[in-house]
Amino acid sequence: MIGLSHYLIVSALIFSIGLMGVLRRRNLLMLFFATEVMLNAVNIAFAAISHYYNDLTGQMFAFFIIAIAASEVAVGLGILIVLYKKHGTLDLDDLASMKG
């Protein structure tokens, strides 16, 4: 039988893939994709827990995560476009104006 652990493990693996993406990507757009992956990984975990504990709270959290992801993408992409307009690139290595 598929148990909670299976889902959680899948979720963990997907999360790690997302993390890896976040770490190795230099392109901001690709970074966004990687974060989406991570968010989805978490959603799986929530849904699974919700299911196995027979509790709706997990699903509620997943909803809000989706809502937040949507807003993040909307604002984030807007910023990306402005950045691209300004610098002509989305490569992080070229966008190091915050050097301390």
Partner 1 sequence: MYEMVAFYLFSVLTIGLFLITVMSKNVLYAMTSLAAGMVLISGFFFILGADFLGVVQLIAYVGAIMALYSFAMMFFDATRDIKEKNTNPALVFLLGGLSAVVLVLMFAAPIHSDAIQALYPMHEGVGNAQDVGIVLFTKYLVPFEVAALMLLVAMIAGIILAGKKMDQSLTEDMSADDEILTQKDEK
Partner 2 sequence: MMENLVYIALFAPFASSLFAALFGMSPRQTFVGIIASLLLFTSFVASALLAYYVYTTGNSIHVTMMEWISAGDLTIPFGFLVDQVSVTMMTVVTLVSTVVHIYSIGYMDHDKSFNRFFSYLSAFVFSMMILVMSDNFAGLFIGWEGVGVCSWLLIGFWYHKADVTRDENPSISPSWAANEAFIVNRIADLGMLVGLFIIYWNVGSLQYDVVFSALPNLSGSVLNAAALALFIGAMGKSAQFPLHTWLTDAMEGPTPVSALIHAATMVTAGVFLVIRANPIFSMTPEVSFFIAALGTFVAFFAASMALVNRDLKRIIAFSTLSQLGYMFAAAGLGAYWIALFHLAAHAFFKALLFLGAGNVMHAMHDELDIFKMGGLKKAMNWTYAYMGVASLALAGIPVFAGFFSKDAIIETAFNEGTYVLWAILVLTAGMTAFYSFRQVFLTFHGKARYDESTLHPHEMYKFVLIAMSPLALLAVIAGFFMGGFQTFVTKLLPDYVMSEHTHHLIWVLTAVVLVFAVGGIWLAYKKYANGLKRDEELENSFIYKLLANQYYIPQFYEEFITKPYAMLSEKMWTSVDMKIVDATVDGIAKLIYKSGDGSRKMQTGNLSNYLNWMAVGAVLLLVVAAISAMLG
Q: Which does 75 bind (CB under 5 to 8 A by kind): partner 1, partner 2, none?
A: partner 1
Q: Give the whole-angstrom CA distance, residue 13 versus residue 9.
A: 6
Q: Give the whole-angstrom CA distance, residue 69 versus residue 75.
A: 10
- Interface residues for partner 2 in 26-55 (CB under 8 A)? 26
Q: Which does 42 bind (CB under 5 to 8 A by kind): partner 2, partner 1, none?
A: none
Are the C-beta atoms of 62 and 39 separated by less than 8 Å? no
Question: Which stretches of the chain bind partner 2, using CB under 8 A?
Answer: 19, 22-23, 25-26, 92-93, 95-100
